[in-house]
Amino acid sequence: MSILIKNGRIVTAESDYIADLFIEGQQISAIGKDLPYTADRVIDASEKLVFPGGIDPHVHLDMPFMGTSSSDDYETGTRAAMHGGTTMVIDFILQTQGDTLYNALKEWQGRSEGKAIGDYSYHMAVTDFNDEVAKEVVQFIQEEGISSFKTFMAYKGALMIDDGQMVQLMKVVKEHGGLVTVHATNGDVIDSLIAKNRADGNLSPLYHYLSQPEVTESEASARFADMLHYTGCPGYIVHMTCEGALNAVREATQRNQKVLVETCTQYLVLDASLYEKDFEGAKWVMSPPLREKKDQVALWAGINQGLIQVVGTDHCPFKWEQKLMGKDDFSKIPNGHPAIEHRIELLYSEGVRTGKISLNKFVEVSSTNAAKIFGIYPRKGTIAIGADADIVIFDPLKKHTISVDTHHMNVDYSGYEGWELTGKTETVILRGKIGIENEECLLQPGYGQFVKRGKTSLVI
């Protein structure tokens, strides 16, 4: 199969020009003006943007969590992602404390194989570090193509590791060329605030927010940066929400350290006033919680200052029935919100259209930097000859409205109901095959491949 995309405005992290793009098989084989090729399919992309398929490195599909499971599985989740222009996701395998990493890997392979529509990889979450796990970490990097290891500084008793384990893990990961990623919030302080609020009868979703003040995130981010500095390990903070945490990373740069940072769309465009809507606030119960307007300002600035490299989603959807598990107690509301489908369009409409970020920056944070950081560049994350033909053709002027009635995620509400956006994903190509066209998904479950990853290629 060959595809010729004509006259599109091709945008990468570094360039912006009008040209044709020729795809043969799974890769891009030529780029240039007026390419003299015939193709099985010709797409006129005049007046459209053509950029690399989005990479969302923070999603939770079919994940057992807080007594239930996230409601999008690999099929529905990667299909919804494709509709929005995200062609690859990186999910999190969770080690069960007391069990091996390999047992967890097998479990997640069972969930994804034959189901994924888009490409995917895994981060391995180490929740219980010991000498045996250290050996598995090395095997994961060298044999499985899984080179990033997630840690939790919160969710004690289920996912959290202590600082001693963290430092030991960092030493092994550094020696073998991997990356440690972190959910950086102070779990002990949060647990004590949750307990106090419950004891005082403060049980609405608002108290989820009030139990995780900014200091719990800034303290943990600074502590994580210190441990990285001590061990020399490269590290990446997931879902950063606030000015205080960003300042911890900024301070680390003063000792010539680079800590990689991801924020998520919701922290850029939503704020904590949503928790004042009584139980409806459960739609936005996620950890860390939404913050203040001043934090949004800091995060947009952090992107432009190069302190934040990636915008993901932390997509972790739960249906309303699942959210109701916490109707009488905020601490039982499953944490997470649906977002995988709207990341690119929200970032374009709220970021590029409003002049907060440039078009090149948009591509950098939605695709290219994730590919570099997680060891899949330049196979993915750019438009170049030889790269996988993962392409989004995007109409920058098309207006549309987000709604539960039209989204493709397996969840019965939207955190952005009624939002009017400008700019819409029109056609999506994954490894040379048209995945989305005329708002329909043309790929079958099983087309999505597990992508083995190498070492980070972002200079830190």
CA-nearest of 259, 262, 255 to 234 is 259
Cα–Cα distance, 377 to 354 (Å, whole number)? 29
343 touches ligand URP by CB under 6 A? no
Q: For residues 352-374, b (16+ Cβ closer than 10 Å) or e, as one string?
A: beeebbebbbbbbbbbbbbbbbb
DSSP for 268-334, please give it.
Answer: HH--GGGGGSGGGGGGG--SSPP--HHHHHHHHHHHHTTS--EEE--B----HHHHGGGTT-GGGSP
Could you tell which of Zn ion, ligand URP, none binds residue 336, using a CB distance below 5 to 8 A set by kind? ligand URP
Fill in the per-residue mask, 180 to 199: x = in contact with Zn ion (CB under 5 A), - = not in contact.
---x----------------
Of 107-115, 241-249, 308-316, 446-454: span binding Zn ion (CB under 5 A): 308-316
Could you tell which of ligand URP, Zn ion, none binds residue 335, using a CB distance below 5 to 8 A set by kind? ligand URP
Which residue has tokens 């936005």? Answer: 284
DSSP secondary-structure letter at 450?
B
Nearest-approach distance from CB 270 to ligand URP, in angstroms: 13
Cα–Cα distance, 114 to 260 (Å, whole number)? 33
62 touches ligand URP by CB under 6 A? no
Residue among 60, 123, 208, 431 that touches ligand URP (CB under 6 A): 60
Please name the residues in contact with 281: beta carbons below 8 A apart, sequence gap of 6 or more: 204, 205, 206, 208, 274, 275
Cα–Cα distance, 175 to 50 (Å, whole number)? 39
Cα–Cα distance, 130 to 97 (Å, whole number)? 11
Count of CA atoms in the C-beta half-sphere (13 A) of 289 = 28
The one-letter code for the residue type at 158 is A
Could you tell which of ligand URP, Zn ion, none binds residue 11, using a CB distance below 5 to 8 A set by kind? none
Residue among 179, 308, 316, 333 that touches ligand URP (CB under 6 A): 316
Residue among 112, 147, 212, 335 that touches ligand URP (CB under 6 A): 335
Could you tell which of Zn ion, ligand URP, none binds residue 342, using a CB distance below 5 to 8 A set by kind? none
Of 160-168, 178-186, 242-250, 303-311: span binding Zn ion (CB under 5 A): 178-186
Q: Which residue is nearest to ligand URP (CB)?
A: 335
Residue among 21, 286, 340, 411 that touches ligand URP (CB under 6 A): 286
Q: Give me Rg for the CA atoms of the chain.
A: 21
Q: Which residue is nearest to Zn ion (CB)?
A: 183
314 touches Zn ion by CB under 5 A? yes
389 touches ligand URP by CB under 6 A? no
Cα–Cα distance, 352 to 304 (Å, whole number)? 12
CA-nearest of 241, 221, 251, 249 to 300 is 241
Nearest-approach distance from CB 316 to ligand URP, in angstroms: 4
Could you tell which of ligand URP, Zn ion, none binds residue 286, using a CB distance below 5 to 8 A set by kind? ligand URP
CA-nearest of 141, 152, 125 to 63 is 125
For ligand URP, the closer CB: 391 or 409? 409
For ligand URP, the closer CB: 51 or 155? 155
Fill in the per-residue mask, 14 to 53: x = in contact with ligand URP (CB under 6 A), - = not in contact.
----------------------------------------
Local structure of 215: helix, strand or coil? helix
Of 45-53, 122-130, 309-317, 369-377: span binding Zn ion (CB under 5 A): 309-317
Fill in the per-residue mask, 162 to 201: x = in contact with ligand URP (CB under 6 A), - = not in contact.
---------------------x------------------
Strand partners, 31: 21
124 touches ligand URP by CB under 6 A? no
Q: How far from 128 is each of 151, 166, 394, CA to CA, in Å? A: 10, 10, 43
How many residues make contact with Zn ion (CB under 5 A)?
Answer: 2
CA angle, corner 151, sides to 296 and 376, nearest 5? Answer: 80
343 touches Zn ion by CB under 5 A? no
Nearest-approach distance from CB 26 to Zn ion, in angstroms: 30
Binding stretches for Zn ion (CB under 5 A) = 183, 314
Binding stretches for ligand URP (CB under 6 A) = 60, 183, 286-287, 314, 316, 335-336
